């Protein structure tokens, strides 16, 4: 299992577009990809799951992946957060 802490850096938080980017990116990998916020864990491959987290600006999340390509999966999701979902 690989785990990274990420922070929502785009001002609008995770709304429909970033949620779709997260789900599309997670679905490229065979590994199970999960995101945790306040002890609630969602499947990162589910757009609705990601949206229901209601992660706003500066929210700290944990991204976890388990599987054959777990390192690459976590790195790809982390890159989305670091690039502010290309919004700012």
Q: What is the domain range of residue 73?
A: 2-86
φ, ψ of residue 15 to 5 degrees: the values are: -110, -160
Q: State pLDDT tens for residues 23-36.
A: 999 999 999 999 99
Query: Rounded mean pLDDT of 3-12?
Result: 97
Residue of higher predicted confidence among 84 and 88: 84
Contact (Cβ atoms closer than 8 angstroms) between residue 59 and residue 15: no
Instruction: Give the pLDDT of residue 87.
Output: 84
Chain segment 41-72, per-residue pLDDT in tens: 999 999 999 999 999 999 999 999 999 999 99
Helix (H/G/I), strand (E/B), else coil: 36: strand
Domain containing residue 80: CATH number: 3.30.1340.10
Asked if the model's pLDDT at residue 75 lies above 80, the reply is yes
**How many domains is the chain partitioned into structurally?**
1
The catalytic site residues sit at 15
The confidence score (pLDDT) of residue 16 equals 95
């Amino acid at each position: 299992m690989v785990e990274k802490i990420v922070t929502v850096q785009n001002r609008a938080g995770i709304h429909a577009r970033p949620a779709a980017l997260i789900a599309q990116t997670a679905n490229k990998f065979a590994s199970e990809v999960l995101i945790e916020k306040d002890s609630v864990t969602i499947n990162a491959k589910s757009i609705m799951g990601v949206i229901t987290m209601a992660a706003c600006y500066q929210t700290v999340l944990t991204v976890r992946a388990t599987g054959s390509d777990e390192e690459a999966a976590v790195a790809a999701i982390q890159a989305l957060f670091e690039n502010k979902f290309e919004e700012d």
